[in-house]
């Protein structure tokens, strides 16, 4: 087994710093990234690894809060290593790679495998300036969302135990997610029996260029027919429709059918697309015959729409703190006391399956 990489002495600052492990075969990239993070002051470089095997060796003995992971490395590539790193640590994993260009399938693939986020790594000579600002910005947001007020511990929040799930229709299932939510969504949908065919609407915070590759990768990962939603299309059982990156996906009743409608107003959360308009409209059309699921993500998107759904009698289900990469969105809903059930994605899926027995599914 490879020896444990030696930590770089951190810059001393007041308060707790976010502990970072850099996994990159380029000595220059490690040096430059380590230097700019140390200069930032919020981060402590606890280790460097030239490849996935050395990163796993480090994690067998040490710990960190964020792993910066390259994709293209000798031996095991970053994508192959992602599931192993997730098993070895609960750290957030930020993939930095020249393969993660805007809309690149490598970015979506990384997130389906458990990466918290991805960022395009430019040529070595450009590892400063705009890249440095974007890197420290993303890392700062991840650290603040995972460890509020500089604490490494996640505070305990009481949440309901698994409730009785009386069989009643689920005519629509709406899922909202953001940072860290892609892998959670896969876990949820893989645990949902294939025979359950209610329409599923998905709002995942992604830019427009990512939507089609996201749908393609999710279809491969879950075996369900994912597709980018179309404005005005009729909602039918068996579909998984994904919100566009530049509009809110809402539902509108049109005679005997329900249709997708895109809206582009500014949502209270500031997100585009936003989970709130989706949940609010689903509640308005389907009433108590719907369920909403809030998975890992930063911020509070889904809190207002979730309350509307709960007020209409729909079941609001929330990913728990232990399994979520970032407990911002789900945590906000859980603290309001409006969730029917708070649990890991697989248990949430089993709850939906039990309830949907009224439809004759599963």
Tell me the catalytic residues.
178, 205, 301
Residue 191 DSSP label: H
H/E segment holding residue 204: strand 200-204
The sign of the torsion formed by the CA atoms of 37, 42, 46, 49 equals negative
306/172 Cα distance (integer angstroms): 14
CA neighbours closer than 13 Å in the CB half-sphere of residue 64 = 29
Do 14 and 59 touch, CB atoms closer than 8 A? no
Q: In b/e form, how buried is each residue of 70-108, taking b as 16+ CB within 10 angstroms? A: bbebeeebbbebbebbbebbebbbbbbbebbeebbbbbb
Q: Residue 14 carries which DSSP code?
A: S
Report the candidate in 285, 273, 328, 334 with the shortest Cα–Cα distance to residue 307.
334
Q: Alpha carbon 26 to chain centroid distance?
A: 28
163: helix, strand or coil = coil
The span from the CA of 132 to the CA of 153, in Å, is 27
């Amino acid at each position: 087994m490879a020896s444990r990489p030696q930590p770089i002495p951190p810059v001393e600052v007041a308060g707790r710093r976010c502990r970072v492990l850099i996994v990159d075969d380029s000595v220059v990239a490690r040096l430059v990234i380590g230097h700019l993070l140390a200069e930032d002051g919020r981060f402590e470089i606890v280790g460097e690894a030239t490849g996935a095997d050395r990163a796993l060796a480090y994690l067998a003995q040490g710990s960190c809060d964020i792993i910066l992971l390259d994709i293209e490395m000798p031996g095991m590539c970053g994508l192959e290593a992602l599931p192993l790193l997730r098993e070895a640590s609960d750290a957030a994993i930020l993939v930095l790679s020249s393969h993660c260009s805007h809309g690149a399938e490598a970015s979506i693939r990384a997130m389906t495998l458990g990466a918290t986020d991805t960022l395009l790594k430019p040529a070595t000579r450009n590892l400063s300036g705009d890249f440095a600002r974007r890197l420290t910005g993303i890392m700062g947001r991840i650290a603040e969302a995972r460890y509020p007020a500089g604490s490494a511990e996640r505070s305990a929040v009481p949440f309901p135990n698994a409730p009785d799930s009386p069989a009643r229709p689920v005519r629509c299932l709406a899922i909202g997610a953001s940072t860290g939510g892609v892998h959670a969504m896969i876990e949820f949908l893989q645990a949902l029996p294939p025979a359950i065919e209610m329409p599923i609407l998905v709002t995942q915070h992604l830019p427009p260029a990512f939507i089609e590759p996201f749908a393609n990768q999710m279809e491969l990962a879950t075996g369900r027919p994912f597709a980018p939603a179309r404005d005005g299309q009729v909602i039918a059982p068996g579909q998984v429709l994904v919100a566009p990156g530049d509009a809110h996906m809402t539902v509108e009743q049109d005679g005997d059918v329900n249709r997708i409608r895109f809206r582009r107003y500014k949502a209270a959360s500031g997100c585009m697309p936003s989970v709130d308009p989706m949940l609010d409209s689903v509640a308005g059309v389907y009433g108590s015959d719907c369920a909403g699921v809030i998975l890992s993500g930063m911020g509070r998107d889904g809190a207002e729409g979730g309350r509307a759904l709960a007020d209409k009698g729909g079941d609001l289900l929330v990913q728990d703190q232990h399994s979520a990469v970032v407990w911002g969105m789900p945590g906000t809903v859980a603290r309001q006391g409006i969730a029917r059930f708070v649990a890991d994605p697989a248990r949430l899926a089993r709850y939906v399956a039990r309830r949907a027995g009224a439809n004759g599914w599963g």
